Structures are given as C-alpha cells and as structure tokens.
Amino acid sequence: MAHTGGCLCGAIRYTITAPITELRACHCVHCQRASGSHGTVAAFVPRSGFKIDKGNPKRFTTKADSGRTLIRYFCADCGSPIYSHREATPDMLGIRAGTLDDSSGLKISTHIWTSMARPWSLMDPSAKKVEGQPA
C-alpha cells in the first residue's frame, strides 16, 4: 500500500511505495526541541521506497543525544519537519508520521529515550520502551 504525505503549507509532497518497517516514538531532547512537543514519531522506510513529488526540503545536520550525526529535512516555507536519517544509515529514513495523509492502521511499536520523556508524554503501555538509543 502506497502512502502519501506532505508539509503544512503543501510546498512539499511525497510518496512512500515501500512498506513501513516500524513506527517509533523518540523522546530525546533533540527531538523535543525539533518538534516543539514531546518528541517525534517516525515511520521508517527504505530510501528506495520514498520519493519527493513536489518541492525541495531544506536540510539541517546536527548531533543527536546519541552522539550520532542526524540529518533532518523540513519545509523551508512552513517549517514542517518531513523526514530524517542518521549519517551512518542514509538508506533508512524516518518519515514524520504527522505528515502522512492517512496514518490509520499504524501503531507505535517502540518508544526510545524514555529516560528523557516529559512527565506529560503519553506512552502506549503495550509498546516496547527503551531508556536510551537502541543498538
């Protein structure tokens, strides 16, 4: 099943043709600051199954709380975060789940960096929880 999505203003549109391998919530401080909220929720897909159909996302490179280099892509017009990947694993993308046009049927399987979660962050009790960065 293909998924489509895009940013708030519509300047960026994308299509995912590969299966989503995991839906993961990250509660690290970097993701909290990047989202302006409790963290991020990412749908992981191989790069080969992701295509930008419209627009050209801007990129921002930073060191994540794990110490790894993370490259984040976002809309330069409205600021919506679109996707990210680790420098060491450029072939696996974390698409921001809130940018999907239809996320029905998806469920968070893992919460990471739970040691940094805000007290008001809600976590599905049935999801796996990892205090830091998984291997």
Q: How many CB atoms lie within 10 A of CB 112?
A: 23
Per-residue pLDDT at 26: 94
pLDDT means per 10 residues, the chain with 135 residues, are: 95 97 93 90 97 97 85 97 91 96 94 93 92 84
114: closest CA among 65, 69, 80?
65
pLDDT at 46: 97
The rounded distance, in Å, linking the Cα atoms of 125 and 67 is: 28
Q: What is the pLDDT of residue 134?
A: 83
d(CA 16, CA 123): 26
Please report the pLDDT score of residue 17 as a whole number. 97
pLDDT for the residue 82: 98
Q: Which pLDDT belongs to residue 13?
A: 99
So what's the pLDDT on residue 133? 86
Q: Would you identify the CATH topology of the domain 3-130?
A: 2.170.150
- Rounded to two decimals, the pTM is 0.89
What residues contact residue 110 under an 8 Å CB cut-off, 6+ apart? 22, 24, 25, 127, 128, 129, 130, 134
What sections of the chain are H helices per DSSP? 29-35
Per-residue pLDDT, 132 = 86
